[in-house]
Amino acid sequence: MRRLRNVKIVATLGPSSDTYEMIEALHKAGADVFRLNMSHGSHAEIRDKHRIIREVEENLNSTIGILADLQGPKLRVGVFSEGSETLEEGARFRLDLDETEGDANRVCLPHPEIFAALEPGATLLVNDGKIRLKVIDCAADYANCEVITGGVISNRKGVNVPDVVLPLAALSEKDRADLEFACELGVDWLALSFVQRPEDVAEARELTKGRAAILSKIEKPSAVDRFDDILAVSDGIMVARGDLGVELPVQNVPPIQKRLVRKCRAAAKPVIVATQMLESMIESPMPTRAEVSDVATAIYEGADAVMLSAESAAGEYPIEAVTTMDNVASEVERDPTYTQIIEASRTADRMTVADGIVAAAREIAETTDIKAICCFTQSGTTALLTARERPRVPVIALTPLVRTARRLALSWGTNCVITGDVDRFKKAVVSAVQAARREGFAGPEDHIVVTAGVPFNVPGSTNILRVAPCDESLIFAADPE
């Protein structure tokens, strides 16, 4: 299913979108990748959604990516004898390991690892940052705090600790079970929540054993501080602005978003901008103007994908939300300013032969009447490098591996075509021409650029480029075998 835009759309599935009819409608409306939130639903329910997605993919003959989002460590307070308490600004409040029910003066925080990392002056945020506590003194089993910002605190509200790197295991026992389940199921991407350091990614990679690509969610200040190291060991990045906006001043998030997107693009790794993009569409068929501008900003910045969360998972208007995002993306990409911004931010660092080949392909395509760039790719690297160039013409990624095609569903501008095994460049050119014509990218009078690596089936070996005519003479001149 050919898209008339380059940025990809990720839609989260949930109670509002768990039937075959709805998932098919969401894909037709523009969803390229479906997110399965492992925080909600049993393994049986997740398996059912996965099965439906693959049925839609087969019936529509359209490659679909699947992203499983692991819950990550959840830090929560205990329970209160009255269910909730109101904390007044300036008051004292104690967090400790005592499991008895809390009151207006204290509550259990059943996470000794937090107390082990705290120091006087540290900040604790409760209930998405609505309550702010400052640590006055602390030990291995308690923290006496001053209430800086008061409010209602109730049972099992979440706690954020922005000032310190917590000595938490990167993956909880639930995450490990979910990771193995998702990999066995056959998801294409695994999203890691609350990544703090590159070692967190390394642990997940060891467990996945190559069965899924790893996407690191950036939602903690420590992850921002060590972003270059985390990016180096990740296959992709999600700028998860929800918790990031809780743990950092909200005005810090936009420049961080812009900086992270540019770094991902320079590294040729997909980046998703996520959280509250069309939040009002959970209950309204129309977004706010500010939300539309927010989506557009992420696209202007060069993000590979934009994501819907509750809008498509639990909202009343999931199809309208995807359609709106599709319309915004299409309109932005038609804007001449978009092209100017994208090309002005193109990286100039080219260190390998593959870098030079894809840059040359883009230059040729944009200075002559070329209709598409066709790249043969085994691992997806060539397609990612081509997408990094953000060419003005379509990118057709040809691969014999369904797994690679599905992973590339997250990458900017890639139109994936499953092809047979190719062992010679002449066959590759013929396959590229056939695909370009069959998928409607080029006609018999047109030309395409073809890139590949010789010898074939060696990841990262892109070293050859050809401008090929799309007329029948090339096809019929090919060897019959």
- Where would I find the beta strands (DSSP E) of 413-473? 414-418, 447-453, 462-469
Own/partner pairs for 453-458, CB < 8 Å, 24+ apart?
A: 453/354, 453/376, 453/378, 453/382, 454/425, 456/376, 456/378, 456/421, 456/422, 456/423, 456/424, 456/428, 457/378, 457/421, 457/423, 458/378
Q: Is 35 a catalytic residue?
A: yes
76, 174, 176, 263: which is the annotated catalytic residue? 76
Structure token pair of residue 422: 């190719």
Q: Is 76 a catalytic residue?
A: yes
Indicate the SS3 state at residue 256: helix
8, 35, 220, 226: which is the annotated catalytic residue? 35
Q: Is 371 a catalytic residue?
A: no
Indicate the SS3 state at residue 38: coil
End-to-end Cα separation, the chain, in angstroms: 29
Q: What is the sign of the dihedral through the CA atoms of 246, 250, 252 and 253?
A: positive
- Amino acid residing at 65: G
Sheet (strand 159-160) strand order: 106-108, 92-96, 142-149, 131-139, 123-126, 159-160
Q: Is 217 a catalytic residue?
A: yes
**Separation of alpha carbons 216 and 230, rounded Å:** 8
- Amino acid residing at 26: L
12, 63, 123, 275: which is the annotated catalytic residue? 275
Residue numbers annotated as active site: 35, 76, 217, 275
